[in-house]
């Protein structure tokens, strides 16, 4: 199992993280592989619930559904 961390942020990540996350969500730096679990002592475990949700302005509005009687252009 590969463990990763972000030393500048003091974060460690769950072992499954390298499969879907390559950059630190807090600072944007690449995650570092850790050779030994001992190197993770003192780092806090990243919790995805700590990340602030995106503002409503950042989410694109869905396209309106076409109506059945109106021809498409």
Domain count for the chain, please give it: 1
Domain that includes residue 19, residue range:
3-47
The answer as to whether 41 is a domain residue is yes
- pLDDT, tens digit (0-9, with 9 covering 90-100), for 1-40: 678 999 999 999 888 877 788 899 889 999 999 888 898 8
C-beta of residue 40 within 8 angstroms of C-beta of residue 34: yes
54 domain residue, yes or no: no
Q: What's the whole-number mean pLDDT along residues 42-56?
A: 75
Average pLDDT over residues 40-56: 77
Cα 33 from Cα 21, distance rounded (Å): 12
> Is 9 contained in some domain?
yes
Residue 30 placed within a domain: yes
Residue 59 domain-assigned (yes or no): no
Whether residue 61 is predicted with pLDDT greater than 60 in this model: the reply is yes
Cβ atoms of 2 and 18 closer than 8 Å: yes
Of 59, 42, 57, which is closest to residue 5 (Cα–Cα)?
A: 42
Would you say residue 17 lies in a domain? yes
Q: Assess if residue 66 is contained within a domain.
A: no
Q: What is the C-alpha to C-alpha distance for residues 61 and 58, in angstroms, rounded to an integer?
A: 9
Residue 42 has pLDDT above 90, yes or no: yes
pLDDT of residue 64: 67
Predicted pLDDT at 58: 58
């Amino acid at each position: 199992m590969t463990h990763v961390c972000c030393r500048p942020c003091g974060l460690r990540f769950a072992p499954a993280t390298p499969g879907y996350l390559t950059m630190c969500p807090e600072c944007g730096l690449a995650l570092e592989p850790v050779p030994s679990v001992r190197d993770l002592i003192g780092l806090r475990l990243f919790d995805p619930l700590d990340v602030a949700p995106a503002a409503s302005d950042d989410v694109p509005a869905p396209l309106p559904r076409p109506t059945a009687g109106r021809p498409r252009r």
